[in-house]
């Protein structure tokens, strides 16, 4: 089955493009408007910054390895954790997921490209430029009094620390401008994805036949429209404060730092769901294929995703239980936050039900997705603990919080991204990644992960706050921190195995053929890598799993789906 394309009308025989000179090749990548190439650009870019952000994390951990450590200056430390957070969220999480979206959404809905290919290229280059601008800050001017160059006030950048009087240098300007620029790129891509899914679906691809991956990206893109923009607006206000002497967040003139806190989390909270939903999207594709079953409760999955999207707009102040809201206000945000747990629960249970009664093979993508399920369960439950407002008065800004969100960001999102890599790498390159190395990668990384992030919960419960460059030795935090640091090194080994696997597979991997996983969605109906226009003729579908219908002509899906 794996050496021939599936006879969906419109699939092509492999037509590998000719390789020209290096210059032509480079030029081809730079001027490209092809969604697949742009997708790969996004992903490569994000992968590069994952390593950068990871190195920053390593430096953080080296400094915190023992109490009163002097490896890194306090100034440098503040830059490191700010840049680590900002990089991971804006230069890794968003682009990598948009990379997957770019690559997959058009193919999955049987389209030839995105709705606006040139806007797509423009958005990518804006994002790329934003990242460069952010990192240029290392050269571009000092920050807080006595501090270094890069942004150094945390990724949440609470006012008034960001005002001219406390951050006289240019680092906050780099921070704000870089994120505004990449924010425009993000909004552009989101608009593009929405227009693509709504207007370019191939014949027969009704909304309720779209793969869940596409559904989730539709929700994410819609969410992005109202998520990134508040940050842009708040950053414009910040720049007005800094350059034109406005007083939005200027406490001296009666302005309120509270406004920034609200605005940031109105962005910041939905943002974390913008990051996690595409990860869910990956799991939605991988879990059914490796369980050999259709996704359980497709309509419920869609409804839950939309529900998460909407509720996530009304929970932002759970990041603000300690700022002194009224007790009624606090209570409202407790309940709204917990409601997200109900919707998310529906998804978790549906994944379990998909696996139930299946015939599960633990290939690397599935391994990572299983790890994701386990870790996301814990992460969600620690989220519920944080949502218990009085307890959050203890846990807020402690390492328990750091543990919670790394459990989601690393344990769920990065894990799903790894799964996505192993799953679609053959599609994008035509070559398989090594299963052996994949398993090594999985086990090494997951061991390091648990060493680091499980331990963080405890050190947080023992009262260790975040954002500190050093700590006192007599507080019971020493050994725990050492373990966290060792765990980070183990993770780094895992990541290196992964990178090696990528590089090796790209040149030496065994040929994949169009459909190595015996999967069901349209992208597996074209050759690997797909030709420039994906499909010679627009395909037609009759169910959620067009390839299943073809492979099982006697028992096609469209007989059963509601």
Site for Cu ion in 253-282 (CB under 5 A): 269
Least distance to ligand HEA from the beta carbon of 32, Å? 25
Q: Which does 461 bind (CB under 5 to 8 A by kind): Cu ion, other proteins, ligand HEA, none?
A: other proteins
Site string for ligand HEA, 214-253 (x = CB under 6 A): ----------------------------------------
Number of residues located near ligand HEA, criterion CB under 6 A: 57
Q: How far apart are CA 339 and CA 396, in angstroms?
A: 20
Please, which residue, 272 or 355, has the CB nearer to Cu ion? 272
Farthest CA pair distance, the chain: 75
Q: Cα torsion at 379, 383, 385, 387 (round to 10°)?
A: 180
Q: Which does 276 bind (CB under 5 to 8 A by kind): Cu ion, ligand HEA, other proteins, none?
A: ligand HEA
Give, as ranges, the residues between 321 and 340 that touch ligand HEA (CB under 6 A). Answer: 337, 340
Residue 338: burial class (beta carbons within 10 Å; 0-12, 13-18, 19+): middle
Does 381 bind other proteins (CB under 8 A)? Our answer is yes
Sequence-distant (≥ 6) Cβ neighbours of residue 46 within 8 angstroms: 91, 92, 93, 95, 96, 99
Least distance to Cu ion from the beta carbon of 390, Å? 17
Sequence-distant (≥ 6) Cβ neighbours of residue 116 within 8 angstroms: 191, 192, 195
Question: Residue 305 corresponds to which tokens in the numbers above?
Answer: 């995703």
Long-range contacts made by residues 18-23, C-beta under 8 angstroms, separation at least 24?
none
Q: Cα torsion at 257, 259, 265, 266 (round to 10°)?
A: -170
Q: Which does 76 bind (CB under 5 to 8 A by kind): ligand HEA, Cu ion, other proteins, none?
A: none
Inter-residue contact 422 to 367 (CB < 8 Å): no
Please, which residue, 82 or 196, has the CB nearer to ligand HEA? 82
Does 331 bind other proteins (CB under 8 A)? Our answer is yes
Q: How far apart are CA 91 and CA 45, in angstroms?
A: 8
Q: How far apart are CA 404 and CA 346, in angstroms?
A: 20
Q: Which does 495 bind (CB under 5 to 8 A by kind): ligand HEA, Cu ion, other proteins, none?
A: ligand HEA
Please, which residue, 245 or 473, has the CB nearer to ligand HEA? 473
Give the residue among 475, 482, 474 at the shortest CA–CA distance from 64. Answer: 482
Give, as ranges, the residues between 299 and 318 that touch ligand HEA (CB under 6 A). Answer: 318
Among 12, 83, 105, 153, binds other proteins (CB under 8 A): 153
Site string for ligand HEA, 146-175 (x = CB under 6 A): --------xxx-------------------
Q: How far apart are CA 559 and CA 561, in angstroms?
A: 6
Please, which residue, 289 or 417, has the CB nearer to ligand HEA? 417
Q: Which does 479 bind (CB under 5 to 8 A by kind): other proteins, ligand HEA, Cu ion, none?
A: other proteins
Site string for other proteins, 505-534 (x = CB under 8 A): -------------x----------------
Q: Which does 536 bind (CB under 5 to 8 A by kind): ligand HEA, other proteins, Cu ion, none?
A: none
Does 214 bind other proteins (CB under 8 A)? Our answer is no
- Give the binding range for ligand HEA (CB under 6 A) out of 289-297, 383-391, 423-431, 551-559: 383-391
Please, which residue, 84 or 269, has the CB nearer to Cu ion? 269
Q: How far apart are CA 361 and CA 547, in angstroms?
A: 19
Per-residue burial over 200-237, b if 16 or more Cβ lie within 10 Å, else e, is: bbbeebeeebbbbbbbbbbbbbbbbeebbbbbbebbeb
Does 437 bind other proteins (CB under 8 A)? Our answer is no
Give, as ranges, the residues between 252 and 291 that touch other proteins (CB under 8 A). Answer: 253-259, 261, 263, 266, 291
Give the residue among 380, 391, 386, 371 at the shortest CA–CA distance from 343. Answer: 380
Q: List phi, psi (to 5°) of 465.
A: -80, 165
Does 240 bind other proteins (CB under 8 A)? Our answer is yes
Among 294, 302, 416, 417, binds other proteins (CB under 8 A): 294
Does 410 bind ligand HEA (CB under 6 A)? Our answer is yes
Number of residues located near other proteins, criterion CB under 8 A: 151
C-alpha to C-alpha distances, 320 to 61, 158, 297, 333, 383, nearest whole angstrom: 27, 12, 35, 9, 14
Does 481 bind ligand HEA (CB under 6 A)? Our answer is no
Give the residue among 108, 10, 172 at the shortest CA–CA distance from 539. Answer: 10
Among 102, 137, 182, 232, binds other proteins (CB under 8 A): 232
Q: How far apart are CA 167 and CA 137, in angstroms?
A: 14
Least distance to ligand HEA from the beta carbon of 406, Å? 6
C-alpha to C-alpha distances, 204 to 208, 483, 540, nearest whole angstrom: 10, 54, 6
Give the residue among 383, 371, 513, 545 at the shortest CA–CA distance from 442. Answer: 371
Stated as kind and residue range, the H or E segment containing 378 is: helix 364-387
Among 36, 61, 84, 396, binds other proteins (CB under 8 A): 396
Q: How far apart are CA 230 and CA 455, in angstroms?
A: 35
Q: How far apart are CA 186 and CA 120, in angstroms?
A: 10
Give, as ranges, the residues between 491 and 530 that touch ligand HEA (CB under 6 A). Answer: 491-492, 495-496
Give, as ranges, the residues between 56 and 115 that touch ligand HEA (CB under 6 A). Answer: 57-58, 60-61, 81-82, 84-85, 88-89, 92-93
Least distance to other proteins from the beta carbon of 11, Å? 18
Residues that bind ligand HEA (CB under 6 A): 51, 54-55, 57-58, 60-61, 81-82, 84-85, 88-89, 92-93, 154-156, 272, 275-276, 318-319, 337, 340-341, 344-345, 348, 377, 380-381, 383-384, 386-387, 392, 395-396, 401-402, 404-406, 408-410, 413-414, 452, 466-467, 488, 491-492, 495-496
Residues that bind Cu ion (CB under 5 A): 269
């Amino acid at each position: 089955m794996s050496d021939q394309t599936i006879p969906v009308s419109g699939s092509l025989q492999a037509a590998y493009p000719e390789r020209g000179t290096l210059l032509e090749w480079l030029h081809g990548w730079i001027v490209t408007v092809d969604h697949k190439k742009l997708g790969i650009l996004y992903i490569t870019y994000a992968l590069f910054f994952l390593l950068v952000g990871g190195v920053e994390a390593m430096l953080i951990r080296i400094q915190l390895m023992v109490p009163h450590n002097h490896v890194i200056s306090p100034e440098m430390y503040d830059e490191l954790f700010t840049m680590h957070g900002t990089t991971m969220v804006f230069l890794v999480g968003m682009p990598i997921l948009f990379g997957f979206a770019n690559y997959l959404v058009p193919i999955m809905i049987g389209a030839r490209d995105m709705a606006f290919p040139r806007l797509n290229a423009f958005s990518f280059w804006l994002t790329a430029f934003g990242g460069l601008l952010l990192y240029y800050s290392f050269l571009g001017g000092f920050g807080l009094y006595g501090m270094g160059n890069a942004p150094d006030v945390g990724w949440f950048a609470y006012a008034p620390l960001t005002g001219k009087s406390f951050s006289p240098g240019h680092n906050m300007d780099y921070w704000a401008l870089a994120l505004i620029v990449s924010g425009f790129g993000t909004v552009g891509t989101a608009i593009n994805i929405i227009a693509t899914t709504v207007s370019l679906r191939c014949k027969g691809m009704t909304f309720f036949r779209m793969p869940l991956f596409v559904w989730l990206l539709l929700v994410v893109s819609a969410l992005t429209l109202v998520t990134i923009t508040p940050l842009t607006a708040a950053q414009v206000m910040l720049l007005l404060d800094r350059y034109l002497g406005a007083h939005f967040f200027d406490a001296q003139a009666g302005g309120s730092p509270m406004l920034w806190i609200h605005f940031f989390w109105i962005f910041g909270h939905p943002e974390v769901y913008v990051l996690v939903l595409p990860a869910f999207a990956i799991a939605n594709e991988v879990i059914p294929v490796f369980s050999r079953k259709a996704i359980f409760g497709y309509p419920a999955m869609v409804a839950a995703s939309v529900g998460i999207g909407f509720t996530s707009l009304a929970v932002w102040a759970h990041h603000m239980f300690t700022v002194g809201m009224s007790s009624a206000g606090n209570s409202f945000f407790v309940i709204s936050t917990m409601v997200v747990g109900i919707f998310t629960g529906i998804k978790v249970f549906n994944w379990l039900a998909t696996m139930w009664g299946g015939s599960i093979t633990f290939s690397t993508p599935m391994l990572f997705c299983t790890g994701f399920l386990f870790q996301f369960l814990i992460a969600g439950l620690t989220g519920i603990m944080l949502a218990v407002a009085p307890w959050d008065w203890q846990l807020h800004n402690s390492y328990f919080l750091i543990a919670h969100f790394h459990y989601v960001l690393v344990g769920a999102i990065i894990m799903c991204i790894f799964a996505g890599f192993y799953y679609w790498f053959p599609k994008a390159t035509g070559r398989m990644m090594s299963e052996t190395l994949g398993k090594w990668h999985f086990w090494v990384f997951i061991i390091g992960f648990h060493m680091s992030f499980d331990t963080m919960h405890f050190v947080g419960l023992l009262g260790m706050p975040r954002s500190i460059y050093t700590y006192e030795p007599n507080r019971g935090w020493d050994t725990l921190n050492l373990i966290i640091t060792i765990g980070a090194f183990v993770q780094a080994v895992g990541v290196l195995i992964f990178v090696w696997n990528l590089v090796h597979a790209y040149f030496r991997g065994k040929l994949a053929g169009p459909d190595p996983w015996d999967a069901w969605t349209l992208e597996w109906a074209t050759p690997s890598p797909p030709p420039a226009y994906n499909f010679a003729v627009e395909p037609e579908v009759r169910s959620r799993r067009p390839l299943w219908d073809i492979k099982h002509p006697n028992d096609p899906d469209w007989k059963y789906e509601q």
